[in-house]
């Protein structure tokens, strides 16, 4: 929005801006903010930032060394569409106020370093990313866990389980399980809500290519945004989630990006289209398989080789692995194909060499976009640097293969713990260019084990009562 600090200050002073919002993303992908009265913001504020207690942010510094600053990127500014008072929002980078160096655990800094490593490698100068984030729209969500009870309850006016419910009256038009792909209204009851989300995104400068109902019942949706460079796309994904959630809330709905909120139906994925360019030319276009270049094949070879490690960031929750099972479009087998959507990597059919790209299909939208995009880029670059052969393509339905043939295809991890073990055993490619650090890998694995895997392992599951109560 602005090209300089002076331009930002002038806009704030001349356009009745009431407040300025500083926002940053924590290690695990949650957007955080502080709002400052506009009269308190001057050139120095935008240049050196504001101090805060970093020890209060999950996974960041200890209390004895907790002073940090968030410094705004004035080129990232936008007007918040949901605040009543006119508010300018800045994406911020986290900086050590003593050394003035950017913080290694700041996800936005990690993404910036990944892009810088791409340029330094000489392989390319731009990584384009186009994510397809899916989400569920619900009308009612309740859950609780105590010593002697635990439950969750989800409901949607589209849910097929409500065909027999007295809705006063029940007008039906509810998608079946796995039957929600592309119906028109009235079966697609969320069209106008998605359109409102798109309208707000477009006001913010996000280029939306399409939106539609997804496969599952109960309001599963997808809004596709145009590809752009890696760091900007990660910023836009934070805005995307923010818009989707807030538009849903003001319409008395709620949204989740959980990978698998509904048993027996499709989950939420975030297919990530990606390509590398150099000097304005597409590096992935060539005369190889499906029109790919040798560099593109090596890139996807790196993705396949390091997929289990990548999953620690692209599929970062215990719930993520309830989606990565056969039969629900989420690929759990590590293969590539030009048309096969059961493969972990698909090569879209395109007519223009400039559109040549790969689509990594296993990530889900609970991922921190800065870390997910960065780890995939680093794995792909490792593939190019070491000329990693991806093997032969698999142009068959993976789920129809005989067990012997299927056993020869490597699989995605089946649990978050397995992906964390892979991360600890295979992360050298991430350390190049100081993009990720050993500290990040250690804190990520420790946090996930102690705050997500362990608490879940200690609690009985409702289905265990069905299986074991009468033993």
Instruction: Tell whether 332 and 462 lie within a shared domain.
Output: yes
Does residue 84 have a pLDDT over 70?
yes
Query: Following DSSP, what letter does each residue of 259-326 receive, concatenated?
Result: S--STTS----EEEEEEEEETTEETTBSSSGGGB-HHHHHHHHHHHHTHHHHHHHHS-SGGGGGTSST
Instruction: Tell whether 98 and 131 lie within a shared domain.
Output: no
pLDDT > 70: what percent of the chain? 98
Does residue 459 have a pLDDT over 70?
yes
E strand map for 117-206: 126-138, 140-145, 150-155
Instruction: Tell whether 266 and 149 lie within a shared domain.
Output: yes
**Residue 159 is assigned to a structural domain of this protein:** yes
Residue pair 74/2 in contact by the 8 Å Cβ criterion? yes
**Residue 119 is assigned to a structural domain of this protein:** no
Instruction: Tell whether 456 and 398 lie within a shared domain.
Output: yes
Final residue of a structural domain among 103, 138, 164: 103
DSSP-based three-state secondary structure for 340: coil
- 19: CB partners within 8 A, 6+ apart: 35, 36, 37, 38, 83, 85, 86, 87, 88
User: The CATH number of the domain where 151 resides is what?
Assistant: 3.30.590.10
Instruction: Tell whether 396 and 462 lie within a shared domain.
Output: yes
Q: Is 457 within any annotated ligand binding site?
A: no
Q: Is 346 within any annotated ligand binding site?
A: no
**Residue 112 is assigned to a structural domain of this protein:** no
Q: Is 354 within any annotated ligand binding site?
A: yes
Instruction: Tell whether 15 and 137 lie within a shared domain.
Output: no
Q: Is 202 within any annotated ligand binding site?
A: no
Does residue 244 have a pLDDT over 70?
yes
Instruction: Tell whether 71 and 186 lie within a shared domain.
Output: no
Token output for 237: 């994904």
Q: Is 424 within any annotated ligand binding site?
A: no
Separation CA 339–CA 307 (nearest Å): 20
**Residue 13 is assigned to a structural domain of this protein:** yes
Instruction: Tell whether 99 and 130 lie within a shared domain.
Output: no
Does residue 3 have a pLDDT over 80?
yes
Placement of tokens 């005989």 in the chain: 402
Q: Is 267 within any annotated ligand binding site?
A: yes
Token output for 342: 């059961």
- Which pLDDT band, with edges at 50, 70 and 90, does 64 fall under? low
The per-residue pLDDT for 192 is 97
> Residues 161, 165, 170, 175: what is their CA dihedral angle, to the nearest 10 degrees?
0
Catalytically annotated residues? 53, 132, 134, 214, 222, 271, 341, 359, 361
- Which pLDDT band, with edges at 50, 70 and 90, does 251 fall under? very high
pLDDT (tens digit per residue) in 44-57: 999 999 988 888 88
Mean pLDDT of 108-134: 98
pLDDT (tens digit per residue) in 319-371: 999 999 876 667 888 999 987 777 899 999 898 989 999 999 999 999 999 99
Least confident of 98-102, 118-122, 266-270, 357-361: 98-102
The per-residue pLDDT for 400 is 75
Beta-sheet pairing, 345-346 with 336-337: parallel
The per-residue pLDDT for 382 is 98
Residue pair 88/9 in contact by the 8 Å Cβ criterion? no
Q: Which domain holds residue 443?
A: 126-468
Separation CA 336–CA 353 (nearest Å): 19
Separation CA 461–CA 331 (nearest Å): 26
**Residue 196 is assigned to a structural domain of this protein:** yes
Q: Is 269 within any annotated ligand binding site?
A: no
Mean pLDDT of 262-269: 94
Instruction: Tell whether 44 and 181 lie within a shared domain.
Output: no
Instruction: Tell whether 350 and 204 lie within a shared domain.
Output: yes
pLDDT (tens digit per residue) in 438-458: 999 999 999 999 999 999 999
Strand arrangement, sheet containing 87-95: 31-37, 19-25, 87-95, 67-79, 50-53
Separation CA 180–CA 177 (nearest Å): 7
Separation CA 124–CA 360 (nearest Å): 19
Cis ω before 230 (30° cut-off from 0): no
Average pLDDT of the chain, as a whole number: 93
Token output for 432: 């190049």
Q: Is 266 within any annotated ligand binding site?
A: yes
Mean pLDDT of 145-167: 92
Q: Is 361 within any annotated ligand binding site?
A: yes
Q: Cα–chain-centroid distance for residue 117? A: 21
């Amino acid at each position: 929005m602005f090209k300089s600090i002076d331009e930002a200050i002038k806009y704030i002073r001349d356009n009745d801006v009431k407040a300025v919002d500083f926002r940053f993303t924590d290690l695990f992908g949650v957007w955080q903010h502080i709002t400052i009265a506009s009269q308190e913001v001057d050139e120095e504020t935008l240049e050196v930032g504001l101090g805060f207690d970093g020890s209060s942010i999950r996974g960041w510094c200890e209390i004895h060394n907790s002073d940090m600053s968030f410094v705004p990127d004035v080129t990232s500014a936008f007007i918040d569409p949901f605040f009543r008072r006119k508010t300018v929002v800045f994406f911020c980078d986290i900086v050590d106020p003593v050394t003035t160096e950017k913080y290694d655990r700041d996800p936005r800094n990690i993404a910036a370093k990944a892009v810088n490593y791409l340029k330094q490698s000489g392989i390319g100068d731009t990584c384009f990313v186009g994510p397809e984030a899916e989400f569920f729209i619900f009308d009612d969500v309740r859950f609780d866990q105590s010593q002697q009870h635990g439950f969750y309850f989800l409901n949607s006016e589209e849910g097929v389980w409500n065909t027999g419910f007295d809705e006063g009256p029940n007008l039906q038009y509810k998608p079946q399980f796995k039957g929600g792909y592309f119906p028109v209204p009235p079966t697609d009851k969320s069209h106008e809500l998605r359109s409102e989300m798109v309208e707000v995104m477009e006001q913010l400068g996000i280029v939306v290519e399409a939106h539609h109902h997804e496969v599952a019942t109960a309001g599963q949706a997808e809004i596709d945004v145009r590809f752009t460079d890696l760091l900007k796309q990660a910023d836009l994904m934070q805005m995307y989630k923010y818009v989707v959630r807030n538009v849903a809330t003001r319409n008395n709905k709620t949204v989740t990006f959980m990978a698998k909120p509904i048993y027996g139906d499709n989950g939420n994925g975030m297919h990530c289209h990606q390509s590398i360019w150099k000097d304005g030319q597409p590096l992935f276009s060539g005369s190889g398989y499906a029109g790919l270049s040798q560099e593109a094949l090596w890139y996807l070879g790196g993705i396949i080789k390091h997929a289990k490690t990548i999953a620690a960031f692209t599929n970062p929750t215990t719930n993520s692995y309830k989606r990565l099972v056969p039969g629900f479009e989420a690929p759990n087998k590590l293969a590539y194909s030009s048309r096969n959507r059961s493969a972990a990597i698909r090569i879209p059919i395109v007519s223009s060499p400039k559109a040549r790209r790969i689509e990594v299909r296993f990530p889900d939208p609970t991922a921190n976009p800065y870390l997910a995009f960065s780890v995939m880029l680093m794995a792909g670059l490792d593939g190019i640097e070491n000329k990693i052969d991806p093997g032969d393509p698999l142009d068959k339905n993976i789920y129809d293969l005989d067990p012997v043939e299927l056993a020869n295809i490597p699989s995605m991890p089946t649990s978050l713990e397995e992906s964390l073990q892979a991360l600890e055993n295979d992360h050298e490619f991430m350390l190049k260019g100081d993009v990720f650090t050993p500290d990040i890998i250690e804190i990520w694995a420790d946090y996930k084990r102690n705050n997500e895997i362990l608490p879940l392992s200690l609690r009985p599951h409702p289905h265990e009562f069905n299986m074991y109560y009468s033993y």
